[in-house]
Amino acid sequence: MNRKLTPVALLAVALTATACTITTPEPDQVGIVYDAGTFSSTTFQSCINPGQQDISGPGDAAYTYPAGQRTFEFADKPDAEAKPLTVVSKDNLEMTVSGVATFSLATDCKTLQQFHEQIGLKFKASDDEGWRKLLGVYIGQPLDRAMDAAAKEYGWKDLFSNPTIKQQWEQSVAKHAAQFIQEQGGAGFFTKFAVTLQQPQPPQGVRDALAAAQQALEEDAAQKNKNEKAKTELESIRALVDVLGAEGYVLYKAIQDGRIQVIVSDGQVNVTPGKQQ
């Protein structure tokens, strides 16, 4: 029995027979298609917007790249793109820094084609692993260079413990990084660059020494307070001795401490030991 195929079925048969290339970028991706048939040279064909579908001829090559904001994290975490970076301060101390850079890939069709042909193909960046390698070269290396350039303006103690200086340094890093990233890529492939940096960390030995020094300062301040209190008490005692005499002060102190009781009754003064505590 003969059956007529529906339009959808006819399309499926046609695509299967001709082995067409179907490209459907996700909503956070863009696509780019090249005419790469058996009997044709590889030439640019079109760009595909996020979420749209493209059906190309047999043998054509399609690639997808991230669209929208992306991140490059450098931290001591398994899923980070890189380990913490290092900087050298103005006074030549090496410090480690964790943080995250945010950016977007320029996805206007002309720039995307240029990016794909100059960089994307070389790194196979339409794959996750290739994209990570690309970020290490075109984001990570310029960012590392920018952090060093900015850190040379400040001493390590300011970077480590002065929030105002740390904020100024972070702003300087973002400015340098945007410039160095464009230089590295040779064009404005990455846009909307921003960076958030954690407090730079000096080596553990330096942090331990700094903590010990701070503790010594606090102990010294506490001892000075004790000395001042003792000095004040001594001056008070001397003033009382001048007024009461030595024996009078001893009696006054014993009464104050509750060691003896003084009772005045009918003009008589009775002195008795106080209750033991």
Residues 77 and 201 in one domain: yes
Supply angle C-alpha 262, 266, 269, rounded to 5. 25
Both 80 and 117 in one domain: the answer is: yes
Torsion of CA 60, 63, 68, 70, to 10 degrees: 180
CA-to-CA distance for 119 and 138, rounded, in angstroms? Answer: 10
Q: 223-242: per-residue pLDDT in tens?
A: 666 667 767 777 777 777 77
Same domain, 146 and 271: no
Whether 27 is in a domain gets the answer yes
By the 10 Å C-beta count (0-12 exposed, 13-18 middle, 19+ buried), 136 is classed as: middle
Distance of CA 67 to the CA centre of its chain: 23
**Cα–Cα dist 196/71, whole Å:** 11
Residue 257 tokens read as 């401490």
- Considering the domain architecture, whether residues 191 and 83 belong to the same structural domain is answered as yes
Q: Please tell me the predicted confidence (pLDDT) of residue 36.
A: 77
CB count in 10 Å sphere of residue 265: 7
Tokens matching residue 155: 């001493």
**Helices and strands, number each (H, E), in the chain:** 8, 12
Residue 216 domain-assigned?
A: no
Q: Is residue 225 one of the residues assigned to a domain? A: no
Q: Would the pLDDT of 264 be above 60?
A: no
Q: What is the pTM of this model?
A: 0.66
Residue 139: partners with Cβ closer than 8 Å, 6 or more residues away:
72, 101, 103, 181, 190
**Euclidean distance between CA atoms 103 and 196, whole angstroms:** 12
pLDDT on residue 262: 60
Residue 219 lies in a domain: no
Q: Are residues 37 and 80 in the same domain?
A: no
d(CA 225, CA 87): 41
State the CATH number of the domain containing residue 82.
3.30.479.30
Residues 196 and 89 in one domain: yes
| 193 pLDDT higher than 50 | yes
Residue 136 DSSP label:
I
d(CA 124, CA 113): 14
Which of 29-38, 100-109, 231-240, 260-269 has the largest mean confidence?
Answer: 100-109
From the centroid of its chain, how far is CA 122?
Answer: 30
Q: Give the end of a domain, one of 44, 64, 84.
A: 64
In this structure, the answer to whether residues 161 and 248 fall within a common structural domain is no
Residue ending a domain, choose from 23, 46, 64: 64
Q: Are residues 128 and 244 in the same domain?
A: no
Q: What is the pLDDT of residue 17?
A: 43
- Predicted confidence (pLDDT) per residue in 88-133, tens digit: 999 888 999 999 999 999 999 999 999 999 999 999 999 999 999 9
Boundary of a domain, candidates 206, 223, 256? 206
- 204 φψ region: left (φ > 0), alpha (ψ -120 to 50), beta (else): alpha
> Does residue 193 form part of some domain?
yes
DSSP 162: -
Contacts of residue 249, Cβ cutoff 8 Å, sequence gap at least 6: 237, 240, 241
Please give the pLDDT value at position 5. Answer: 43
Of the pLDDT bands very low, low, confident and very high (cuts 50, 70, 90), residue 261 is low
**Whether residues 112 and 41 fall in one domain:** no
- Tell whether 11 is covered by a domain: yes
Structural domain span for residue 38 = 7-64
Structurally, how many domains does the chain consist of? 3
Q: Determine the Cα–Cα distance for residues 53 and 226; give it in Å rounded to an integer.
A: 79
Query: pLDDT class for 9, splitting at 50, 70, 90?
Result: very low
Terminal alpha carbon distance of the chain: 115
Q: Is residue 157 part of a domain?
A: yes
> Does some domain include residue 258?
yes
Looking at the fold, whether 111 and 181 belong to one and the same domain comes out as yes
Q: Give the lowest-confidence range in 151-165, 216-230, 232-246.
A: 216-230
The answer on 169 and 98 residing in a single domain is yes
> In this structure, are 141 and 98 located in the same domain?
yes
CB atoms within 10 A of CB 163: 9
What percent of the chain is predicted at pLDDT more than 70? 72
